[in-house]
Amino acid sequence: MQYPINAIFQTLQGEGVYVGVPSIFIRLQGCPVGCQWCDTKYTWNKLSHKEISWESIPLKISNNNSWGLADTTEILDTITNLGWTAKHVVITGGEPCLYDLRPLSIALQATGLTCQIETSGTHAILCSMETWVTVSPKIKKNKNHSLLHQALKRADEIKHPVGRQRDIDALVNCIKTITDEKKRIILLQPINHITSAIQLCIKTCIQKNWRLSIQTHKYINIP
């Protein structure tokens, strides 16, 4: 199984439950979902003329739409050869669940790394049982890319981007559809650090005992 990879780098996880945890990010290329708030639009299209060698991907210094193919062994070898010390891997995108992530997540965990996926929940989630799944639900109805119940059920963490009250209302309705007993951590994440959205998230988190997620990497200027 080969994966189209836009970027691989070591940093700190900037948001969500794992905020502050040293992490290796694997950013996959390709996403048909089209979220308004997307801050990685350069990952949307997998253009054949933008393919570069896998060896060039860890050397990228700017965000752009070039990508390279790598299989699980090549990814693991790169992590080892670069001497990265983080023990947590975040597979993100793009929409990583366009791809079968079972081989990659199982291989990463076999080396002692923990694994997390960040997804919109619009595609079936295929990963190891132990992978931590963060769903930022794409709730807006879109006949091609709406939220899958399977993704919501698999979620360990539901991290919802919030601009206005209607985003919270939509999340509440969405959560009502889950009927199992699994404990999921729910976080509200203000879109673009807009003051009114931050205030709304703080108020709602306190009311509902949810958590606030701030994109800390944007404040401290790390990738």
Please give the annotated binding residues for substrate, written as ranges.
Answer: 12-14, 27, 92, 223
For ligand SF4, give the closer residue by CB, 11 or 40.
40
- Which residue positions form the known binding site? 12-14, 27, 31, 35, 37-40, 92, 94, 136-138, 223
User: Among positive and negative, which fits the CA dihedral 148, 150, 153, 155?
Assistant: negative
- Residue 35 binding ligand SF4, by CB under 6 A: yes
34 binds ligand SF4 (CB under 6 A): yes
| Interaction pattern, residues 98-137, with ligand SF4; x per rule: CB under 6 A | ----------------------x-----------------
Strand, coil or helix: 6: strand
Selected from 7, 24, 28, 33, the binder of ligand SF4 by CB under 6 A is 33
94 binds ligand SF4 (CB under 6 A): yes
* Alpha carbon distance 180, 21 (integer Å): 29
Phi, psi dihedral angles at 137 (to 5 degrees)? -65, 135
Of positions 17, 19, 38, 175, contacts ligand SF4 by CB under 6 A: 38
Question: How far does CA 153 lie from the centroid of its chain?
Answer: 16
- Which residues contact residue 212 at a Cβ distance below 8 angstroms, ignoring those fewer than 6 apart? 187, 188, 189, 201, 202, 205
Residues 6 or more apart whose CB falls under 8 angstroms from that of 104 comprise 1, 3, 26, 72, 75, 91
CB nearer to ligand SF4: pick between 107 and 171: 171
Closest CB to ligand SF4 among 86 and 135? 135
Cα-Cα end-to-end distance for the chain: 27
Q: Which of 20, 1, 199 is nearest to 99 (CA)?
A: 1
Closer residue to ligand SF4 in complex, CB, 107/139:
139
The binder of ligand SF4 chosen from 14, 16, 93, 190 (CB under 6 A): 93
Compute the distance between CA of residue 95 and CA of residue 28 in angstroms, rounded to an integer.
Answer: 7
């060896």: which residue's tokens? 55
Q: Which is nearer to ligand SF4, 115 or 118 (CB)?
A: 118
Task: List the interface residues with ligand SF4, window 146-205 (CB under 6 A).
Answer: none
List of residues contacting ligand SF4 (CB under 6 A): 31, 33-35, 38, 40, 43, 93-95, 120
